[in-house]
């Protein structure tokens, strides 16, 4: 029997088949899904901000791309996963609001996507599927029995990554 595990903002969760990892309402946040097909273990991070350099002390590794992704990979490795078997899919990073004269600092969604991609590259991990950008929020459903990641957006058909 599977459990549905909700991954909230700035949270990281790792579980195994047949569980389902779910994060709802990604706007500018990015959901990072990593799956190991061999041992059917998966993890998800709901990343809120690009990097931790703007804070003096990181009290929650799940909040920032540069801390959440290494923490997620580490938690998966502790459960027996190998980086060479990790499949990565990401979704989110929308630009939810637009204002005249917006500067680059206010473009949180696109900055989050870039930071996630950079953090994954730094660890030698490749993204095999993504649904990012635009101006619509997303929800992600990750089936740990198959590794299928379903992305749901308002008034759109589901996207399978």
Query: DSSP 3-state helix, strand, coil percentages of the chain (rounded to 5)?
Result: 25, 35, 40
State residue 102's pLDDT score: 55
**Beta-carbon contacts of residue 117 (< 8 Å; ≥ 6 apart):** 90, 127
Strand residues in 37-147 grouped as ranges (E): 41-47, 86-92, 127-132, 138-143
For the question of residue 29 being annotated catalytic, the response is yes
pLDDT in tens, the chain (161 residues): 779 999 999 999 999 999 999 999 999 999 999 999 999 999 999 999 999 887 777 788 999 999 999 999 999 999 999 999 999 999 999 987 765 555 556 789 999 999 999 999 999 999 999 999 999 999 999 999 999 999 999 889 999 99
The structure's pTM equals 0.93
Of the residues 13, 26, 29, 76, only one is catalytic, namely: 29
- Rama region for 125: left / alpha / beta (φ>0; ψ in -120 to 50; rest): beta
Structure tokens at 104: 């680059």
Task: Centre a 10 Å sphere on the Cβ of residue 130 and count the other Cβ atoms it contains.
Answer: 21
Domain 4-160 belongs to what topology? Answer: 60s Ribosomal Protein L30; Chain: A; (3.30.1330)
Q: Where are the domains of the chain?
A: 4-160
Residue in the block written with tokens 């990750």: 142
């Amino acid at each position: 029997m599977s459990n549905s595990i909700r991954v909230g903002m700035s949270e990281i969760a790792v579980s195994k088949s047949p569980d389902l990892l779910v994060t709802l309402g990604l706007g500018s946040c990015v959901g990072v899904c990593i799956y190991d097909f061999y041992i059917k273990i998966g993890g998800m991070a709901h990343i809120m901000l690009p990097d931790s350099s703007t804070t003096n002390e990181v009290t929650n590794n799940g909040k920032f791309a540069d801390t959440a992704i290494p923490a997620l990979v580490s938690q998966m490795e502790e459960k027996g996963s190998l980086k060479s078997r990790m499949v990565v899919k990401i979704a989110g990073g929308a630009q939810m609001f637009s204002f005249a004269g917006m500067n680059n600092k206010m473009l949180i969604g696109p900055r989050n996507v870039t930071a996630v991609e950079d953090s994954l590259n730094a660890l030698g991990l490749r993204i095999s599927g993504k649904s990012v950008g635009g101006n619509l929020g997303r929800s992600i459903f990750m089936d740990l029995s198959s590794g299928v990641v379903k992305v749901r957006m308002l008034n759109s058909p589901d996207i399978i990554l």
